[in-house]
Amino acid sequence: MTRWAVLVLMGFFLPRFVAVSAAQEQLKFEKYRDPEYGYAFQYPADWDLRKLPEGPANDEVRVLVQTPGGNSFMVIVEDQEPNPSKAEFQSDPNRKARVDKLIQQTTQQIYRRVAGNLGAVDSKIGERTDLSNDAAMQFYVSTLHKMKAGAPVIVAGIHSYPFSKSYSISFIMTAFFERGAEKDNATMRAVFNSFQLLDKSENSHGGSGPADQSSKDKSK
């Protein structure tokens, strides 16, 4: 869980689950779907999407989306020991502590290392929220990094550990924090909140099908 930390060179400290404005709903969105690892998200059609890896380097990065302003989203998939089954997790009386431990490890091993890679002069941990559901152990972490010059940098992620799978999925958002850019900030939130794990019938990991696909869609 530490290799991708060096990949995050810029970086949202705004809370999740904020309503999308009427103006936001008018944007044309596309939907990216990765049936191999079972996740999807939406993004504006004029953003640049690259399917990765493009070689042996950074082979954990599945896809990178960049905004016209230089902010970005990326999906990192990391192999690991099998995650617990849904039944095992839900029957565990210490399941909250189990997720809290993952949150703590991620904060220490990933986000604090990101602060060092950025050269931040000060870093703050924002929300750390358990989002576990019927599909996975899942949580959200946000951090704010003050730089020597320029706008602060925000790094936030949704980290998922799908039940009974031998991998984790991290959806990482990185952005410059611009207080007056309400429209751009709302767009970033909408994309971040659109991340979801697919139904089992849409997840083909372990098969021989295509690694990913994308289709056009409208933001709801």
pLDDT of residue 205: 59
Q: What is the pLDDT of residue 41?
A: 97
pLDDT digits (tens, 9 = 90+) for 88-141: 999 999 999 999 999 999 998 888 888 888 888 998 888 899 999 999 999 999
pLDDT at 3: 44
Q: What's the predicted TM-score (pTM) here?
A: 0.80
Q: Show the domains of the chain with their CATH numbers.
A: 3-13+29-178 (3.40.1000.10)
The per-residue DSSP string of the chain comes to --GGGGG------SPS-PPPPHHHHTS-EEEEEETTTTEEEEEETTSEEEES-SSSTTTTEEEEEE-TTS-EEEEEEEE-SPPPPHHHHHT-TTHHHHHHHHHHHHIIIIIHHHHHHHT-SEEEEEEEEE---SSEEEEEEEEEEE-SSSS-EEEEEEEEEETT-SEEEEEEEEEE--TT-HHHHHHHHHHHHT-EEPPGGG--TTSSS-S-EEEE----
Residue range 72-103, pLDDT digits in tens: 999 999 999 999 999 999 999 999 999 999 99
- pLDDT digits 0-9 by tens, 169-182: 999 998 887 766 67
